Structure formats: C-alpha cells, structure tokens
Structure 1
Amino acid sequence: MLNISLSLTKSLAVVLSVLLTPIRALRLRYVPLLLVYFAYGSSVFTAIALNFWVKETLDMSAADLAELGIWLTVPWTVKMIFGSLVDSVLIFGSNRKSYVYIGALLITMSSLMMIAVVGEHSIVAEFSKKSVYIFASVIAVVGFVMQDVVADTMSTEVIDKSQSEEEIHQELASIQVLARLSLGFAIFITGWIGGELADVFKDEREVVFMIALFIPLLSILGVSLVHLNPVPVSKINKHVLFGGLAFAFFVVIMGYAQVPYAQEIVFVFSLGIVLTLLNGLIGDLSENAIRHIKMAMIVIFVYRAMPSVGASLQWWQIDVLGFDESFFAKLSAISGAIALAGMWLSAKFIVKRNIGEVLIFLTIIGTLLSLPIVAMYYDVHTLFGVEARTVALVDTALASPFDYIAQVLMLTLVAIYAPEGKKGTWFALMASLMNIALSASGLLTKYLNKIFVVSREVVSDGVVTVAQDYAQLGGLLWVVVISSCIIPIIVIIKYNPSKL
C-alpha cells in the first residue's frame, strides 16, 4: 500500500509539474507582449464568415484561391525589410512601437474595406468585389507582418538580463511557448465566437467585420504598455534593406505584369535571396551552431512545404456533408481549445526534445489523423452508422494539439542564437525562410488542384455557370496524405540536426 501511495504521489507531482510549467514561467512583464500575439491570433475571427462569403459570392476556383494564398505569403517572405527597419530606423522616436501602430492602421483599413464590399456599400460599387477582397487581404497581411516582426524582436527584450546564459536561454524558450499559447488561446476563443457570429449574421456578414475592429485595438494596447530592455539602434544594413526593397519591387512588377510562371520565378528568387542574406548574417556564429541551424532549417522547411488539399475540401464538407457556419465554429472551438491544452501540457516536451524526434512524431500522427477524412469521402462512416459531424469533431479534437509545435521549436532556436543588434533582421530572415516554405506548399497545392480538378456550383444571375463536381477529391486526398508522410520522414532521418 505504501508503494502504491508513493507511486501515486510521484505521478501527481509529475502531472502538477507539467500543468504548472507555463504558469510558473509567466511574468507580469510578458503580458503586454502576449497581448500583441493574442491580436495576431484573433485574425481568425472573420475566417468562417469570409470563407462562406467567398464561396457564395466570388467566382474563384480552388486553384485560384491557392494561387492567391501564394501571393499573400509574399509579404511574409520579405520580412527582412521590416526587420531591418525595426533594427535601424526610428519613427517618431521609436523603432518598436511605431511599427505596431502602423500595422494596426493597415489592419483597420482592411477591415473597413471588407465591411464596405461585404455590405455592398456604394463607396466600392465601381470596383469588382474580387479586387477589393484581394487588396484588403494584402494590406491586412502587411499589417500583421509588421506587428509579427516587432513582437518576435520584443520577445528577446523582455527577459531578465541579470541571469546566467543558461537561464536566459531557458527564459527565451519559455517566452516562445507562452507566445504560442497566447496565439492559440486567441485562435480558440475568437475563432469560435467569430464562427458563431457568422451563423447569427449570415444575412448581414459585414457585422462580423465591424466587430473585428477590436483586433488592432488589442495590439495598440499591448505595445503601449510593454516595457523593454534598452537596445542600441543599429546602422542600416544596406544589403538587407535595399536588397529586400528591390525584391519587393520585383515581386510587384511580376504580379502586375502577369508574367507566365511569375509565382515560380518569385519563389526561386526569394529562396536564393533569403538564403544568401541568412548565410551572411550567421557568419559570426560558431561552425557547430551554423551546421545545427542549417540542418534544422532543411528539416522544418520540408516539413512546412508539404501540400494541402486546399479550399475544395471545405467546399465538399459544406455542399455534400452539410456543414454550416455554426458547425465550423464548433470545430474551430474544439481545435483551438485542444491545441491550447496540448501546447500547455507539452511545454516541457517541446523545450527538451530534439527537433527530429518531435517532427517524426508529428508527421506520423498527422498522417494517421488524416485517414478519417479520407474514409469519410468514401462513405466508410455510414457503414458503421456514424455521422459525418461526429467523425469531424473527433478527428479535429485528436489532431489539434500538434499544429503549433514545429513553429515553437524553430522560434526557440532562433531566439537562442539571435545576434545582438541584429535581432529584428535575424528573426525576419529566419521567418522569411519558413514562409517561403509555405509558398512552396501553396505552389504544390495549386498544381495538385489543377491535376485533380474539383469544383463547387457557381450561380451567376440565376444561371449555373460552373457545375458541382467532387469526383476527383478522393485522389487529391490520397496524394496529399501519402506525400506529406513519406517525404518529411525521409528528410528528417537524413538531416536530423541532433546527430551533429
């Protein structure tokens, strides 16, 4: 009995230690910074209302939406411009807070434009709805990119510098976990509430975008209250700043001129530029640290570059399975809540495990949890008398905790090796590379949606202009699931950074 009692006591101690890890790590000085991350996570507030509006209003195929998604990742790939500015250029006496305020202004402008176009107000009547939607999406992304660059930079400037180097590294890791928890909590609560409101205001969807104006206010509040360690203003890195500006101009020209294979050309150029700039920036680190970072980047790049099914899966769920705004809100709530719990419980696991082990685990789990969706396409759930909504709820609940871990690992590694005086540029370049991987994912998704053509019904002026056809969705699902399992595992085994 004594042994059993001791065993139970030890088990409870372990459970309590895991549960209390994020709470113990939290400091009052982190809270304003976490509010900026919360604002970023709140960007999902309008997601469900927006997805239904796009499906019902805009004549865009799954491949078109995947292509738009690629262009929307471009601002994330040129984060080095903002990073260089944050390191070196003061605006109204600040190289931190002013940039968050500018980002908030852009996000506000985007919300106002979406209110106008969704509500069909006369101010945008002479413009096509598609054009307004695309422009609003672009400026919102730019606003969030600016705020994200500053938030990542500030995450290294709220620490207690009187600690030992080991304690500082541990605090940096804890801040990254707390930042993801704040982001996850925002995705959970605002995604759920936004989805429920999308159902309530399905006939007046502009109301959801009106309420979304709280998002820039949160980031303004957070950055206004944050207290940072004094940081020197670095000299402008002309290679990074002007190289980034030249690349941004090149991207705009390529997109505006509609050059054939423009996205592919931009992808290759952006990858080459970021790798060159990154290689120059890490030249001062030890040879071992450089090797470790490069191997980690290869692994995570491939992991993030895997294709997705795209918009066609959600269309099928709406048209065939009958999922509505309210149900998508429930899925969002479950996904966000369990992801948050998973991040909370895995805080120690994330910090102590090596990247290769975690990503192999995530890849295998992700593959297994993709199979129920594939099975639903073939009506397997009906053979067992299980409703599609039940399968979706359970699958979403199981899959949710694994979505953020790779990003936390990468940001922790980046924070540990961030060079003094170059932190903004450092975070921006590393994040740019990860977002170029998402561009690769978007390109692969676009190609697959052109091979496996899936369409929802499009009605214009009472006439069906595009017929509903989900016959090729099954093949698309299988290709995505299999490739997303085999390729990452091979790369992880070969380039596992823990072997160095």
Structure 2
Amino acid sequence: MGQIIERPNFAVWLKDQVIEPVRAMKVAYLPFLMVYFAYGLTGVTGIAAFYWTKDVLKFSATELQLAAFWVGVPWTLKMLFGQFVDVRPILGSPRRAYIFVGAACVACGYLLFAGLAGGWPPIVQLGSSLGVYYIASVVVAVGLVIQDVTADAMTSEMNTGDERDARSIQILGRIAVALGGLVAASFASTIALIGSNEDANDSYHIVFLIACVVPLVSILGAIIWKQRSFDRSEWNKPILFGGLGFALFVIAIQFMPLSGKAEVVWLGTAIAVGTFLYILARKLDKKVIRALIAVATVAFVFRSMPSAGPGVGWWQVDVLGFDQEFLGRLQIIGSVLGLLGLVFAARHLRNYSVAPVLAFLTVVGTILTLPTVGMYFGLHHWTEAHFGFGARTIAIVDLALESPFGHLSMVPILAFIAMVARFGNPATWFALAASLMNLALSTSSITTKWLTQLYPVSQATREASVIVVQADYSNLGTLMILVTVMGFILPLLMIWIFRKQLNYRIETPSQ
C-alpha cells in the first residue's frame, strides 16, 4: 500500500499564521503600540505633500532627494537620544515625558508646514520655501525619533529573554505601524483634495493643521503607560560626547560655504556610527560580534539600494494620468495588504534568520519592479490592446503583490538587536541599530541624488495651467533599469559572503 500523506489542516494553519500575533498581544503592550500606530498615521499627509511639492513648490528631484537625506540625519543621531532615554529621566519620568517632548516636536513641525503653505508671515520670513520645508521636515523627524527610541526602550522592558517573544513584540510593532498607515491611507486622498483646488497654496495649510491631531495618539499611549522598575544605565561617555559633537558638526556644516554638504555629513555620520557600534559591542563575545557585523552589513546594503527618485511619481501623474483619488486607492490597498503580509508571515518570521528573509525579499522585490519598468516602455499599451486592461490595473495588481512584503525586512533585524540589547543599554542598542539603518537610507538618498544628476528627469512647469516647460522623462527608463539591477545583485552578494555568520543564534543572560 502507498504511504498516506496527511493534508495540512486549514484550521491549524490559520491558527498558526493569523492568530499568532494576536495570541502574543498583551494589554501591557498597548502604550508603545500606540506610539508606533501614531508613526503610521503620519502618512496621512503623503499624497497632499506629493502634489504640494510638485505643483505648488515645484521642487526638483535633486532638492527632494536632499530633503530626504536631511530628514534622515536625526534618525542617525538616534543613539544620542537613546543615551538620554536610558540614563536621564525628565522630571522623574524615564519614558512618558520623552513621548510628550516628541509629540510637541511633531506638532511644531506640522505647524511650520502649515505656515509655509498658508503664507503666514512669521513662517515665510524664516527663509526660502526650500529652507523652511527642510526645517519643518527635520523638526518632525526629531519628534518621531524621540518617540521611536522611547517606544523601543519600552519594548525592551517587555522582553523576557526569549527570541521568539522578541520577534513577536517586533511583529506587533510593525503591525501597529501598518494599522496606522491603513487609517492614514483611508483619509489621505480626501485630505489631499482639500489642497488641490484653484487656490492650492491657501488650502494646503489645512492639511497640515489636520495632521497636528496625530501626536495626540502617542500622548494617550504615554498617559496609560505603567512604568516598571527602571534600571538606570550609566552614561556611555564616548557615545554621549561623540553624539553631541556630531550634532554640532552637522549644524556647523550648514553654515559653511560647501557644495557637497550632504556628502560631508554622510561621511561624518558613517564614521560616528561605526565608532559608536565598536564602543558598544567591543565587550561582547567574539562570535556575537561577528554575527552582529554580518547582520549589520547585509541589512545596510539591502536598505541602501538607490531608487529611481521622485521622477517615477511625476511620470505616473503626468503620463499615466494617476490622480489623487487613484493614488489614495493605491495607498489603501498597499496598507491593507502590507498588514496582511505581516499577519500571515508572523510565524515564519519568528523561525527564520535574517539571510533567508532578506534574500527572499530581494528576489521578490526585483520581480515586482518589472511591471513599472515595463510600463515605461509601453507594456500597458500592449496589455490594453490584447487583454483590455491598462496602466491602472497593472499598478493595482503589482502593488497587491508587492505590499505584503513591505514591512517584513526589519522584523528579524530588530529581533536580533533586541537579543543583543539584553546585555545592557537597550535603548542605546536599538538607537544604534536604527542609526545604522537610517544611515543606509541616507546612503540611498545620496546615491539616488547622484543617479538623478547623471540621468536627469524633470516634470512639466506650468503657469496659470499653461505648460511653459515640457516634462523630460527620457532618462527614466535607464534609471529604473539601473537601480533594479543594483537592488538585485548587491544584497544577494552580501548574503552569500556572510552566509555562515548570519545563522548564529545568541544566548542571552536571564533576567
């Protein structure tokens, strides 16, 4: 007789795959999950900000990439904020007060955006539109960094020392961000339409005033937080003074007549983060250090791959005819499927190391960029002629396939860092990990800026609804192909080089 193969029970599969994060949820997690949820809510201004910078402020691709770089600078200073959260309570509050301070910064940044959009004299007199936009973006980023490093410290306090529990907490955190993004997406297109009337510059300020509600969510989470026993860490003086020195260095660079300020700051950031990681990790076991270097290198390369820049979005609007309503629909689809991807992948993420997760995401991500590249060369015209569907259907299907993987890459990385943080200074460890990952994003911004300068892309310039300068997307196809090839080869190469070290599992001390 042949061997009977037992078919998997769907109910068991559903329980393992879908109920896993819910089963891991505890009421005590709610405060820091609300902070992460508020972070996801910041996407509510995404579509409006895209059209505002495109049609009203008329920023170039290079200017927008530089804005993305400067927004990343506070995130690379996260280790400095982590030191204060680990060591110095504010008015006796080691967590709650920091959430309040971060919320105040986020609200102030949105008010700066509102003042710029509404033409408020005290705001517009601060400088050029580009300068005020940079300042507002950085102020919001500072607030989000403070809240994020504090929430990371909260998660560490909940960590029992079991790696599976650490991954569950990280998955729940990503789910909270995704839920916030879903709620934001539900309102993003409606809010964007507020600013897209004939008097757009006068209406976009309403968008940012509405966004000032977002920090209230994290404030509520801080209010209900019940502080456990707080083990105050000692000041890590090299990191403290090095971080303060680096902050002063960044500020000083802004007042110097340099043409490559972003590149200088990037180099200084790389040296600072590398030095701080060495200082913090040098007392760890050598095998742990080797595993940490492997994870950091692979994750850095994966996150630092350049994009084709804002030109893709401009082309989708100007050539493919995507509007606010359709972009809002895409954002909702992306948020829903991104959330489902986290839920269904929860069990697998708990059981796999960094290497297979990032390798899988690299291959899938490359495949799913091909439809967009294909549409540049006329794929949507061919599908419409032969199958009856065009660019919008392709965009929806492509996004539906891509979105479930969007939130997954950081989960195994953060879980690994959570285990290392059990050796002490949890907020500083999380902060340094985030600093490294955001240095990778800054690297992506810098290389994207270089590529957009090498292969320039420009949108149409309009005056009174009349095009005075035609759009030029002739280099966009080459740019998209180049970044797709780079994004496929380099991460897989790093994973292959560090394949042995990536499989090391850390044994942490018990509480």
The alignment's TM-score, normalised by the length of structure 2, stands at 0.92
- Give the direction of change, closer, same or farther, for the CA distance of 1:383–1:462 in structure 2 (3 Å limit): closer
Name the amino acid aligned to 2:390. E
Q: Which residue of 1 aligns with 2:407?
A: 404
Q: Which residue of 1 aligns with 2:233?
A: 234
2:484 matches 1:490: no
- Give the direction of change, closer, same or farther, for the CA distance of 1:262–1:114 in structure 2 (3 Å limit): closer
- Which runs of structure 2 are paired with 1:131-210 in the superposition (5 Å)? 131-159=131-159, 161=160, 165=161, 168-203=162-197, 204-210=203-209
Equivalents in 1 of 2:62, 2:113: separation in Å? 23
Name the amino acid aligned to 2:193. D
**Quick check: 1:158–1:228 contact (8 Å CA) kept in 2?**
no
2:442 matches 1:443: no
Q: Which residue of 2 aligns with 1:96?
A: 95
**Quick check: 1:231–1:421 contact (8 Å CA) kept in 2?**
no
Q: Which residue of 2 aligns with 1:23?
A: 22
**Quick check: 2:70–2:134 contact (8 Å CA) kept in 1?**
no
State the secondary structure of the residue aligned to 2:327: helix
**Quick check: 1:364–1:485 contact (8 Å CA) kept in 2?**
yes
Equivalents in 1 of 2:40, 2:257: separation in Å? 32
Name the amino acid aligned to 1:19. V
Q: Which residue of 1 aligns with 2:255?
A: 256
Equivalents in 1 of 2:102, 2:28: separation in Å? 22
Task: Please report how far the alpha carbon of residue 153 of structure 1 lies from its aligned counterpart in structure 2 after TM superposition.
Answer: 0.9
CA deviation digits over 1:182-214, x for unaligned, max 9? 001111221231223212552222222222122
2:82 matches 1:80: no
Task: Please report how far the alpha carbon of residue 466 of structure 1 lies from its aligned counterpart in structure 2 after TM superposition.
Answer: 4.4
- Which runs of structure 2 are paired with 1:59-458 in the superposition (5 Å)? 59-126=58-125, 127-159=127-159, 161=160, 165=161, 168-203=162-197, 204-385=203-384, 386-458=389-461
Task: Please report how far the alpha carbon of residue 310 of structure 1 lies from its aligned counterpart in structure 2 after TM superposition.
Answer: 0.9
Name the amino acid aligned to 1:225. I
CA deviation digits over 1:32-59, x for unaligned, max 9? 1100000111111101101100101223
2:472 matches 1:478: no
Q: Which residue of 1 aligns with 2:509?
A: none
Task: Please report how far the alpha carbon of residue 5 of structure 1 lies from its aligned counterpart in structure 2 after TM superposition.
Answer: 12
Name the amino acid aligned to 2:137. S
Name the amino acid aligned to 2:48. A
**Quick check: 1:188–1:336 contact (8 Å CA) kept in 2?**
yes
Name the amino acid aligned to 1:179. G
CA deviation digits over 1:8-41, x for unaligned, max 9? 6x23312222111011000111111100000111
Equivalents in 2 of 1:498, 1:146: separation in Å? 30
Calculate the aligned-residue CA RMSD, in Å: 1.9
Name the amino acid aligned to 1:412. A
The number of residues matched between the two structures is 491
Equivalents in 1 of 2:479, 2:182: separation in Å? 29
Any stretches of 5+ residues in structure 1 without a counterpart? none
Q: Which stretch of structure 1 is more off in the superposition, 59-68 or 324-333?
A: 59-68
**Quick check: 2:102–2:147 contact (8 Å CA) kept in 1?**
yes
Name the amino acid aligned to 1:139. V
Any stretches of 5+ residues in structure 2 without a counterpart? 198-202, 505-511
- Give the direction of change, closer, same or farther, for the CA distance of 1:376–1:120 in structure 2 (3 Å limit): same
Equivalents in 2 of 1:190, 1:237: separation in Å? 38
**Quick check: 2:339–2:404 contact (8 Å CA) kept in 1?**
yes
**Quick check: 1:169–1:416 contact (8 Å CA) kept in 2?**
yes
- Give the direction of change, closer, same or farther, for the CA distance of 1:464–1:427 in structure 2 (3 Å limit): same
Q: Which stretch of structure 1 is more off in the superposition, 378-387 or 405-414?
A: 378-387
Equivalents in 2 of 1:248, 1:471: separation in Å? 40
Name the amino acid aligned to 2:190. E
State the secondary structure of the residue aligned to 1:459: strand
CA deviation digits over 1:40-91, x for unaligned, max 9? 1111110110110010122321112112211111111111110111111121
Q: Which stretch of structure 1 is more off in the superposition, 331-340 or 264-273?
A: 264-273
- Give the direction of change, closer, same or farther, for the CA distance of 1:464–1:254 in structure 2 (3 Å limit): farther
Name the amino acid aligned to 1:498. L
Name the amino acid aligned to 2:263. E
State the secondary structure of the residue aligned to 1:135: helix
Task: Please report how far the alpha carbon of residue 98 of structure 1 lies from its aligned counterpart in structure 2 after TM superposition.
Answer: 1.2
Equivalents in 1 of 2:343, 2:440: separation in Å? 27
Q: Which stretch of structure 1 is more off in the superposition, 12-21 or 32-41?
A: 12-21
Name the amino acid aligned to 1:339. G
Equivalents in 1 of 2:346, 2:503: separation in Å? 23
The alignment's TM-score, normalised by the length of structure 1, stands at 0.94
Q: Which stretch of structure 1 is more off in the superposition, 265-274 or 50-59?
A: 265-274
Equivalents in 2 of 1:216, 1:451: separation in Å? 40
Equivalents in 2 of 1:5, 1:240: separation in Å? 58
**Quick check: 1:66–1:310 contact (8 Å CA) kept in 2?**
yes
Name the amino acid aligned to 1:45. V
- Give the direction of change, closer, same or farther, for the CA distance of 1:44–1:367 in structure 2 (3 Å limit): same
CA deviation digits over 1:415-438, x for unaligned, max 9? 111045411111111111111111
